[in-house]
Structure 1
Amino acid sequence: MFEKTFYATHPDMMECVSNEELRDRYLVSDIFRAGEVVLTYSHGERFIIGGAVPGASPLALPRQREPASAAGHPLLERRELGIVNIGGPGTVTLDGEEIALAKYESLYVPMGTADVLFTGEGARFYLLSVPAHRAFERKKMTLADAATMQRGSLETSNERDIYQLVLPHTCSSASLCLGMTLLKPGSVWNTMPPHVHERRSEIYLYFDLAEDDRIFHYMGQPDALRHIVMENEQAVISPPWSVHMSSGTRNYAFIWAMAGENLDYEDMDVKDICQLR
C-alpha cells in the first residue's frame, strides 16, 4: 500500500551520513504518477504523504491493507486528510458529494469519510493525512478564503505570500496544520528567519518549478546544518529537532504541513541566520 516507510530519526543520525543516505531518510520522491494514487508513510506524527493523478479515469483513495488488523477498513477511519490541487481543474467526491477544486484550492476531509474519489484530466492532488481524535467539518478553501500574511522583501530575495489554509482561525482540524507559500518573482529564499518547532513535525512540498530548476533545502540542528538538492514536486520530511529553510534557482511555490502537540502557528524557536553553522 505504501511506496516507502520513513522512520523517526535522532539528530545524531545526521552525522557522517552521505548525501544519498540523507536523501533516503528525508526526501519523498515520485509522488505524482499518472493514473495512480501514491502513498508514503512517515512515523513522524504518522503522516501519510501522497499524490493522486487521475488523468482520464477516476481514482479512489485505497482502503487499508496493512497491518492485518486494519485490512479493509477505510483509510480515514481514524484519520483526517488535507488535499491541495497543484494542477488543472479537478473534482474530489466525498461519500457521493462532488467538490470542484481548481489549482491552489484545498479541501479538508474529516475523520470517518469512507469513500474519496479523484477525477479530472490535468488535476494533480497532493494528499496529507494524520491521525485524528474526532471529526471536524469538511471545508473547501480557496486562496481568497485563507488568512494571508505578506513577508520579506525583494531587496532580501524573500518577498512572499503565506496562505494559512488549515489552522484554527481558518479551518478546524484535530492536529493537521496546512498552508501554501508563493514566492514573488525575483525572490528565492523562504522561511526567513529559519526556525525549529520541537512540538511538531513538518512536511514541505516544492512545486511550480521548471525541469532544470532546483531547490536547496537546508535541515539539521542549527550548529550542524545539512542540505538536500530537490526537484519539482518533491517533498521533504523535517523532524521536530531540525531547522527548515530553503533557496531556489528561481521563485517557486511550496506547501507546508505540520502535525504534533498543538495548532499554534507561532509556536517556534526562531534562529538568527548568524546562529547557523
Structure 2
Amino acid sequence: MTRVETRHAIHPDQARTMGTEELRRHFHVADLFADGEIRLVYTHYDRVVVGAAVPKGNDLVLDKVEVTKTSTFLERRELGIVNIGDPGTVSAGGQTHELDRGDVLYVGMGSGPVTFSGGGRYYLVSAPAHRSCPTRLIRPADSREVNLGELETSNKRTINQFIHPEVIESCQLTMGYTTLHGGSCWNTMPAHVHDRRMEAYLYFNLDKDQRVFHLMGEPTETRHLVVKNEEGAISPPWSIHAGAGTGSYSFVWAMAGENTDFTDMDMVAMETIR
C-alpha cells in the first residue's frame, strides 16, 4: 500500500500569520512510518518527495505513483534511502542491496521499481533528475565525517555526509545525517538559510518522552515546531533551520535545488534573529 499527501509551497508573508496548527499542517511531517505501508509527502518545494517504507515482514514495492504522472516513480527522479531500523534489503535496477542500520542507498534515475524487504525502517527522499547517476550503497565508514561544536556550547555533533559531491555522484540530491553527542542539544546555530535549495529533516534516536524544538521562519520572524521521534520538518528556501532538544538526538537532512554545494549558505548573525 502506498499513500501520498501533497504539500503546496507557502510564501513567507503567509507563514508570518500562521498559528501553531496551521504551521504544523504545512511544515510538520508526522506518521510517515506505518507497518506494511509506503507513505509519501509530495512537496512543491523543488518537487521533493519525503516518505518512509516499513515492510514489517512483507515486501513493499515503490513503482507507479499517480501524482508524478510517470510510468514509474524513478522515471525522472533520483532517490536517497536511509535505514534507521533493523537490517533489511532494497532491490532496484536488477540489484539487491543489504542495508544495516545507518546505511544509505542512492538509487539513480531510471532504476525502475524499488522493493523494500526485511526489518528495515526506510526513510526516503526523492528529487527530480535530468540525468542518471550510478546506484550506490554507502556505509557510515565510507561517508565523509565532519565534527563540529563543543560540549561547552551544547552543540558537539558529528555530521556524516553520504550523498555528497565528495562521496558519490548525484544529479541534485544531497543527503546525510547529524548525531548530537551526549550532553549536547543544539544544532545549526548560528542559523543560516540557502535561498537556492530547500531542505527536509527527519528527527530520530529520541526517547519516547523527548522532543526537539525545530526552529524555522524568516530570520526576523522565527517560528517553531515541536517534533518527536521519527517526525520531520519541511524547510523552505527562505527559512532558517535549527533546533534544540530535551536530550541528544540524530536527524537526517536532505537538500535539493539549484546546486549540490553543501557550503552554499547565507549565514544569519545572532543579533539578527528575532
Which residue does the alignment assign to 2:270? 273
> What root-mean-square deviation, in Å, do the aligned CA atoms of Structure 1 and Structure 2 show?
1.1
CA distance in structure 2 between the partners assigned to 1:232 and 1:3 by the alignment = 21
Which residue does the alignment assign to 2:162? 165
Which residue does the alignment assign to 2:35? 34
Matches within 5 A, 1:8-23: 8-23=9-24
Instruction: Report the TM-score, using the length of structure 1 for normalisation.
Output: 0.96
From 118, 121, 124, the counterpart of 1:120 = 118
Which residue does the alignment assign to 1:80? 78
SS in 1 for 2:142: coil
Letter in 2 for 1:168: P
Give the CA deviation at 1:62.
Answer: 3.2
Residue by residue over 1:49-86, the C-alpha shift from the partner in whole angstroms, topping out at 9 and shown as x without a partner, is 1100001111111312236x53xx11000000000000
Which residue does the alignment assign to 1:93? 91
CA distance in structure 1 between the partners assigned to 2:79 and 2:17 by the alignment = 36
Letter in 2 for 1:110: G
Q: Which runs of 5+ in 1 are unaligned?
A: none
Give the CA deviation at 1:115.
Answer: 1.9
Is contact 2:3–2:38 with CA below 8 Å preserved after alignment? no
Letter in 2 for 1:16: T
CA distance in structure 2 between the partners assigned to 1:150 and 1:186 by the alignment = 15
CA distance in structure 2 between the partners assigned to 1:109 and 1:23 by the alignment = 30
Give the CA deviation at 1:2.
Answer: 4.6
Give the CA deviation at 1:95.
Answer: 2.9
Residue by residue over 1:155-213, the C-alpha shift from the partner in whole angstroms, topping out at 9 and shown as x without a partner, is 10000000111111111111001011011011000112210000000001100111111
Which residue does the alignment assign to 2:140? 143
Is contact 2:195–2:238 with CA below 8 Å preserved after alignment? yes
CA distance in structure 2 between the partners assigned to 1:65 and 1:191 by the alignment = 36
- Residues matched between the structures, number: 273
Is contact 2:63–2:112 with CA below 8 Å preserved after alignment? no
Which residue does the alignment assign to 2:235? 238
Instruction: Report the TM-score, using the length of structure 2 for normalisation.
Output: 0.97
SS in 2 for 1:192: coil
Q: Which runs of 5+ in 2 are unaligned?
A: none
Letter in 2 for 1:90: G
